[in-house]
Structure 1
């Protein structure tokens, strides 16, 4: 049995894309379709928990509801002794993954109830809620999902997950250029068709290219270099990538650069001109006064008006 297994693994390595690392682990990822448990990296790569504690946490997550997970029950399944298992459970309890409480049953018997949380950092306040449904993230959601913060001690067991009936925001529209010229459309189509040479996962259909070409044309219209666009679309792709066109649409829309400013936008704003009323010489008393046109000062106009009224 060893030889066929080694041969199959060697054949799988030859099918991995891109150059393989010269040292360290190489992952051969085969998608699970049944009998699997989702484990977060915050647990699998925990910097403080012991290997025994991490292993016990994974084992407990995989067990169905109601399975006994006390020290004696676990010691009966594992080669580690009761002391080592008890210490590992205390570690999980200290970081909020595990909670144990003694409860009195209606018949008077006292039992220990164990509650396990797969992501204690997501719990914030105590209130009874139904467990959220398990969903599979799309490629775009995997890219947007932030890393879980480090677990904290004594975190209450409540999640803040929107209900499945919560309305979803519609996706933003695909960017459109001001004018999709034949030259822009040809360059955008060529760039999209050429992506699979740089990332073998990005194989697009003709329909996908027609839908994404206006977005790429918008980038080109805004003076984005083709190498910059290509790097944005092919860098750090999710593994595995299920929907290439949706991921490219997301990146082309969310990461769209702003238009370059024009020469008038970069020029310093002109200072506002203040209109100054010039000095004039009064035709009656020859005093200086401010007025837009020559004539008499206010005193002479008043005196002249009074004289005309008396006559």
Structure 2
């Protein structure tokens, strides 16, 4: 017997509006009457969530309120292991779909509540409610016809009092002013706004890059430096064929090489630094030379006076002297008598003057 054809599928494909695509998926949409869950495309097509996390989110969203959705409870319901489920829950928590909140009961015991939000972006950027449309002004009607406002009175409201019999001087009842906008109820006052479950992962603005450092130049440019720098740059292609520079590039790089030569850098050392450890492939040799000449510029050689050790400050030491009167040793810049001998001589001179 030949392969059976699914006539129901063929009939459903025939009912798909528009021409069928030649490749890709074909959707056959059958409206659900019961047992269905609405899932937003922001979750189903999330670019940063794994398929496991999306599936776990759909499973949690389809469960009724109060069902345990811990790692072990989900592992008992799903085929995935506890490690994959734990990783998926961490992904959902990072993007705001899932949050674990510690709450305190009136008894004082702390519990952990698991909160799942099917649209976390709406918590951060809530949509404004649409402005109510104004009802169209009623067409003019005879006074005997009932007013439109009375026709919409609910049945539970008490019946209005009967209007008095129309007389020759009776006037029609005033019609309600339908041109004024209906009153908008004030927003509910919350004691404290709830913490948002979703924080948009917006990267900080990129800081502007600093301008590149200028190419170094010699302090005292001379024709000899210019000639030597030009010869060194023109000779680079002999050592590295990648550095076959144009005349324009050489003229632009000559000041940088001249600054190196002015600082007593040997030409072989400059050539080795510029041509070793090259990237592959080398796309812009002139830019690489400019970067190396700028970033690796050596400092000037120190002078002879900068290399000598600084002289230590000399401390003046007062020499020892021998007293001429008592042979006592004391410190003094010049020979003579010690302090005691000077005081004794001064006291004796004073006594002599007094006796005279």
- The TM-score, its normalising length taken from structure 1, stands at 0.42
Which is helix-richer, 1 or 2?
1
Answer with 1 or 2: which has the greater Rg: 2
- The TM-score, its normalising length taken from structure 2, stands at 0.38
Q: Per chain length, whose mean CA-contact separation is higher, i.e. which structure has more relative contact order (CA < 8 Å, sep 6+)?
A: 1
